[in-house]
Amino acid sequence: MTSRRRLSKTVGQVLFWILIAVIFVYLIFPFYWALISALKTQSELIRTPATYFPENPTLQNFRAVFQNTAFLRGLGNSLIVAGSVTVLSLVVGAFAGFALGKLRFRGRTPSLYVILAMTMFPQIAVLAGLYAVIRTLGMPALPSLVLSYMIFTLPFTVWVLTAFFKGLPTTLLQAAQVDGASTMQTFVQILLPLTAPALVTTGLLAFIQAWNEYLFALTFTSIAPTARTVPVAIALFSGQISREQPFGEIMAAAIVVTIPLIALVLFFQNRIVEGLTAGAVKG
Amino acid sequence: MTKESRALQPAKSRGPSKLARGEERTALWLLLPSFLIIAVVALYPFGRVVLSSFTDERFAAGTDLRGEFVGVVNYQRLLSMTLRQVPAVVDVDTGERVLRDGQPTFENPRLFLRRLGTSLPLDAVATFRIGGNLWVLGATSASFIRSVWDTLVFTVSSVAIETVLGMIIALTLAAKFLGRGVMRAAMLVPWAIITVVSARIWEWMLQPTRAGFFNTLLNDLGVTDGSYAFFQTAALQVPAMVAIDVWKTTPFMALLLLAGLSTIPGELYEAAEVDGASPIRRFFSITLPLLMPTLAVALIFRTLDALRVFDLFQVVYGEARYSMASYAYYQLIAARNVGMSSAASVIIFVIIFAFALFYIRALGVDRDE
Amino acid sequence: MRIVLLSLSLAVALALGSAVAQTVTVAGGAVGQELELTRAAADRYMQENPGVTVEVLEVPDLADNRLGLYLQFFEAQSSEVDVYQIDVIWPGDLAVHFVDLYDYGARDVADQHFPAIVENNTVDGRLIGIPWFTDAGLLYYRTDLLEEYGFDGPPETWAELTEMAQTIQDGERAAGQSDFWGFVWQGNAYEGLTTNALEWIASNEGGSIISPDGVITVNNSNAVEITDLAASWVGTISPPGVTGFGEEDARNMWQAGNAAFMRNWPYAYSLGQQDGSAVAGNFDVRPLPAGDTMGGEPAATLGGWQLGVSRYSNNPELAADVALFLASYDEQKVRAVEGSLNPTIMALYEDADVLEAVPFFGSLFDVFTNAVARPSTATAPNYAQVSSAFYTAIHSVLTGQEDAETALALLEIDLEALTGFPTGTP
């Protein structure tokens, strides 16, 4: 290796690490800012110029958040809603994905399009109509949220799972059928376990989307305050006095709700890429 | 659950001889739950919205006032536009154009439009000069037309930037280096933060005083005087939304692309390297073509998502600047104008539909196998 | 009438069984202390009236979210909530959903309250809500800085305020306070700007946008003059970002010690006096300045909350009794003493206990008697759009897109199309 090549390799290395650093700061900095804002006292929070590190870090805001029953209830509700949404969209999505990806039947392509067309419905466009449906059915707030979140989780789930099933060798299905297994048995016992990576990925995506949703949650839980999910609880955070907005507490709450999600994502990190690799990319 | 377990029945009794028909029936049973859900949460509600877009229905109007059929009036109000030449200011005595600094002066375009005496007052969406003349685009719902334009600009720029940035991040993270796990985790942080909350965080960082991060930093760097009003500068309002959205959703793009990258066999690169192909060449001749299907999926989902943007605009601007969806929300909740809101929603749907069709055609997503 | 209704509600009570009929749900009091006060009041009612359960439904603190919630109940004609806490701008819009409290005994107590609020809450002769507590725009000023710069007292007119703010700002900047501004207020394009701009215009004898009898008065030279003055503040004595300020943005700057004057609601008073506030002990409040026109008087936009009884209530008689109890002299006194909430009953501004607990209330009496109501009742059900057109027009002047003369001429045309009202002078 000539020294010139070695030099250019070193320069490349340095540039690479600078790039990494820039990306890292870009991604993390707002989260850092939220964190230090949550750790600042009220007076430091509004001081000019802003401080880059909290001078007297205090856990006061976090303490307040954990004493806020509406927020804690919101966490619970969000867990219930996002969990149910995940399960429901995986079950329904796996059925549809299997049918669309592996079975031959008339109307396959139109069916896929109908499901995908759901992605096109702006949430705002169905808000008023959906609210009427929920009222007519007399659904309580939490189940109504689970049902309405299907509008954005189901298309993606079906899309990814369809691609995934399509990618599984058809011989598997045929071999099982030759052995006398019914289509459904093959599906449940042989194909479904193979889709685990895709299920993890889509499940996580559905969970995050449901966890983040704001418009439906705001509208459908307003009559039932005990059913409010976390984004609504945070948005409606209020201070001791009307009009006061405790920004430090809002930031503390933001940190608190983000950490479980990050943990979840970290835990499934490799699975996510794996699942997407095998599935979505073959769309 | 009962529906699903019933779905199992027909398949079990089927013999291999009737395989094809059995398969068809199984497929339909399997699809039934999806279609039921679609009918309840999308088709029926949207049908209602389409119907009410032809009425003057008001939300919570009380028992005595029900919406009546008004035809396409709501659509007319939203979409009526006109292009006019703004008259120059003419001196009453000499009959000549009044010049200021050597330039002709014109009437105020907005007043000119209002004084046309149309049944619904026109407001200016935009003005532009052609030759020595001033033209104005007028509309009966200028804020809606502007919201459509803003949303399109927002969508195109944020999706474009996200794709490029997402590609850079994905390519970087595809390399093996110490701390790759940490980087991949960091990548998911913005995406895991609730949209409403991330809007608040950025709002706080972009405050118009030095209580905010950016004003403090830019002031330390000597760029601003520490009181730059990011969100109040009209030209920066949409770019600010793009910046937040890019931060928030680039990780999603990068994740998808990273997944796509890992499917490309390493031997291809090794072979190309042996042939002496430069990294840039390798990117365009190997990576990009093989990444196309992934890119197509990512682009579709991101574009349709961006066109529906609501939370960001609503939290940061409220009624100061609309996206299409937040305009429809304003009409529904604040103005309680169900008819207008529904018509706006239908128009949003049509625009999104047009985009989807375009993608399907252009990227060939619908090709089977 | 009352007897008929009473026997009717008794019949309903018997028919539905006491468990249903004897529960009254009050939607109101979202926030910490306010909520506790409402709960305590509900407990007192229940002690006096055994057999009745009063429940308090927590509602969102932000008025827009609260309205969204109420509209859902109304759209469903739900009997779930009997008594609603309603904003001062809603009676006109929501009148159809409420009973006339005059039919339920409010006639005897209505004249204890500020007439401006009662008038605001009266739609076609029906009393939609009984005033509960009120709010009005105030001028906050730094006593220490006024003294330091040799001013005898707070400004009487907007022109004086402009001048004093400039002097103090220049001085503080020269002393190294580079983030210091003269005057902060609410300039974002939202309802808060309507309240601010209405104060400027009304104090300059420019009318109240649309008069109570339905005449569009906003396009006049006094209104143009004061709006141009306000626009001149942006970037001079007020930060350029003030056109994006809400109440909390203004308060944060003020409380960090970065402003000489602030326009805000009374809520900022107790927060500003808390420990850790940079301005604690160094500020006071007074009515907002007046315009410079002959006879210009300070004006404060009326805010605050009323209690209305839902038309869909299963037991309006009992619900009205609860509402009138909550808004009574004794209850308003408790809220004033313990929660610094401004009473709507005039006599309470002379009550020794109240004045001892909240000394600055005494100076507010004139503010409330002269408070200007937004034209919400006259323009119902279009007030939201009227206000939106108004603050959009003002905002375009503040951001320099239009001059005030053009903007108000445009606004006049828009309001004509929206309401169908004639135009005139204030």
Which pLDDT value is given to residue B18?
Answer: 62
Give the class (CATH, top level) of A65-282.
Answer: mainly alpha
Q: CB contact, 8 Å: B319 with chain C?
A: yes
Give backbone dihedrals phi and psi of C150, rounded to 5 degrees, phi first. Answer: 75, 30
Spatial neighbors of B73 by CB under 8 A, at least 6 apart, are B56
- Statement to judge: residues B132 and B170 lie in one domain: no
User: How confident is the model over B172-198, as pLDDT tens digits?
Assistant: 888 878 887 778 778 878 888 888 889
Angle between helices B234-261 and A3-39 (to 10 degrees): 120
Question: Which CATH number fits the domain that encloses residue B327?
Answer: 1.10.3720.10
Q: How many CA atoms lie within 13 A of C43 on its CB side?
A: 6
- Statement to judge: residues B155 and B93 lie in one domain: no
Inside any domain, residue B351: yes
Of B38, B41, B345, the CB nearest to A115: B38
Rounded to the nearest integer, the mean pLDDT of chain C is 90
- Statement to judge: residues B121 and B150 lie in one domain: no
Number of domains in chain C: 2
Angle between helices C191-203 and C383-398 (to 10 degrees): 70
Number of domains in chain B: 2
Cβ-contact C208, C386 below 8 angstroms: no
Give mean pLDDT, residues C272-285.
90
pLDDT band at C5, cuts 50/70/90?
A: low
Residue B244 has pLDDT above 60, yes or no: yes
| DSSP-H helix ranges across chain A | 3-39, 42-45, 60-67, 69-102, 108-117, 123-137, 141-167, 170-178, 183-185, 192-194, 196-212, 215-220, 230-235, 247-267, 269-278
In a mutational test of the B interface, the residue from C65, C72, C188 whose CB has the highest number of chain B CBs within 10 Å is C188
Give the gap in angstroms from C-alpha B24 to the nearest C-alpha of chain A: 5
Q: How far apart are CA A51 and CA C263, in angstroms?
A: 27
- Kindly state the helix (H) or strand (E) to which residue B154 belongs, with its residue range: helix B142-174
User: How confident is the model over A47-82, as pLDDT tens digits?
Assistant: 888 999 999 999 999 999 999 888 999 999 999 999
Could you tell me which residues of chain C have a Cβ less than 8 Å from any Cβ in chain A?
Answer: 30-34, 57-62, 65, 68-69, 72-73, 76, 78, 80, 179, 247-248, 252-253, 255-256, 258, 265, 267, 270-271, 276-278
Residue B12 has pLDDT above 60, yes or no: no
How much is the ipTM here? 0.86
- Statement to judge: residues B184 and B273 lie in one domain: yes
Rg value, chain B, Cα: 27
- For C156, which DSSP code? S
Interface touch B194/A230, C-beta < 8 Å: yes
User: How confident is the model over A240-270, as pLDDT tens digits?
Assistant: 777 888 889 999 999 999 888 888 877 877 6
The nearest alpha carbon in chain B to C258 belongs to B209
User: How confident is the model over C176-197, as pLDDT tens digits?
Assistant: 998 999 999 999 999 999 999 9
User: How confident is the model over B279-296, as pLDDT tens digits?
Assistant: 888 888 888 888 887 888
- Statement to judge: residues B130 and B148 lie in one domain: no
Give mean pLDDT, residues C190-207.
95
User: CA torsion C114→C119→C121→C122, rounded to 10°?
Assistant: 140
- Statement to judge: residues C317 and C201 lie in one domain: no
Which pLDDT value is given to residue B89?
Answer: 87
Residue C7 has pLDDT above 80, yes or no: no
- Statement to judge: residues C273 and C403 lie in one domain: yes
Listed by start position, the domains of chain A span: 3-45, 65-282
What is the percent of chain B with per-residue pLDDT over 70, rounded to a whole number? 92
Angle between helices A108-117 and A141-167 (to 10 degrees): 140
Q: Quick check: helix, strand or coil at residue B100?
A: strand
| Sequential DSSP letters for A99-120 | HHHH---TTHHHHHHHHHHGGG
Residue C159 has pLDDT above 90, yes or no: yes
User: How confident is the model over B33-53, as pLDDT tens digits?
Assistant: 999 999 999 999 999 999 999
- Statement to judge: residues C147 and C93 lie in one domain: no
Structural domain including B227 reads 143-363
Residue B352 has pLDDT above 50, yes or no: yes
Q: How far apart are CA B198 and CA A253, in angstroms?
A: 12
Rounded to the nearest integer, the mean pLDDT of chain B is 85
- Statement to judge: residues C229 and C339 lie in one domain: no
Question: Which CATH number fits the domain that encloses residue C192?
Answer: 3.40.190.10
Inside any domain, residue C198: yes
- Statement to judge: residues C258 and C389 lie in one domain: yes
B–C: how many Cβ contacts below 8 A?
98
- Statement to judge: residues B118 and B161 lie in one domain: no
Inside any domain, residue C133: no
Which pLDDT value is given to residue A175?
Answer: 81
- In chain C, which among 113-142 make CB contacts under 8 A with chain B? none
- Statement to judge: residues B211 and B86 lie in one domain: no
- Statement to judge: residues C310 and C382 lie in one domain: no
- Statement to judge: residues C297 and C309 lie in one domain: no
| Long-range contacts, stretch B50-53, CB < 8 angstroms, 24+ apart | B50/B342, B50/B346, B52/A128, B52/B338, B52/B339, B52/B342, B53/B339, B53/B342, B53/B343, B53/B345, B53/B346
- Statement to judge: residues C209 and C237 lie in one domain: yes
Domain boundary among B140, B167, B184: B140
Cβ-contact C37, C66 below 8 angstroms: no
- Statement to judge: residues B106 and B165 lie in one domain: no
Interface touch B62/C97, C-beta < 8 Å: yes
Q: Is B336 left (phi over 0), alpha (psi -120 to 50) or beta?
A: left
Inside any domain, residue C259: yes
- Statement to judge: residues B295 and B340 lie in one domain: yes
- Statement to judge: residues C83 and C161 lie in one domain: no
Say which residue, C104 or C21, is predicted with more confidence. C104
- For C192, which DSSP code? H
Give mean pLDDT, residues A17-33.
90
Q: How far apart are CA A167 and CA A94, in angstroms?
A: 14
User: How confident is the model over B222-231, as pLDDT tens digits?
Assistant: 888 888 989 9
Interface touch C406/B58, C-beta < 8 Å: no
The token duo for A74 is 């919101």
Residue A1 has pLDDT above 70, yes or no: no
User: How confident is the model over C345-382, as pLDDT tens digits?
Assistant: 999 999 999 999 888 888 888 888 888 999 999 998 88
Q: How far apart are CA C332 and CA C348, in angstroms?
A: 8
- Statement to judge: residues B249 and B306 lie in one domain: yes
- Statement to judge: residues C8 and C73 lie in one domain: yes
- Statement to judge: residues C257 and C403 lie in one domain: yes
- In chain B, which among 2-31 make CB contacts under 8 A with chain A? 4, 7-8, 11-12, 14, 16, 19-20, 22-24, 26-28, 30-31
Structural domain including C102 reads 2-128+303-369
Q: Which residues pair with B97 in a beta bridge?
A: B90
- Statement to judge: residues B86 and B223 lie in one domain: no
- How many helices (H) and strands (E) in chain C? 19, 11
- Statement to judge: residues B135 and B267 lie in one domain: no
Inside any domain, residue B47: no
- Statement to judge: residues C239 and C166 lie in one domain: yes
pLDDT band at B368, cuts 50/70/90?
A: very low
pLDDT band at B3, cuts 50/70/90?
A: very low
Inside any domain, residue C233: yes
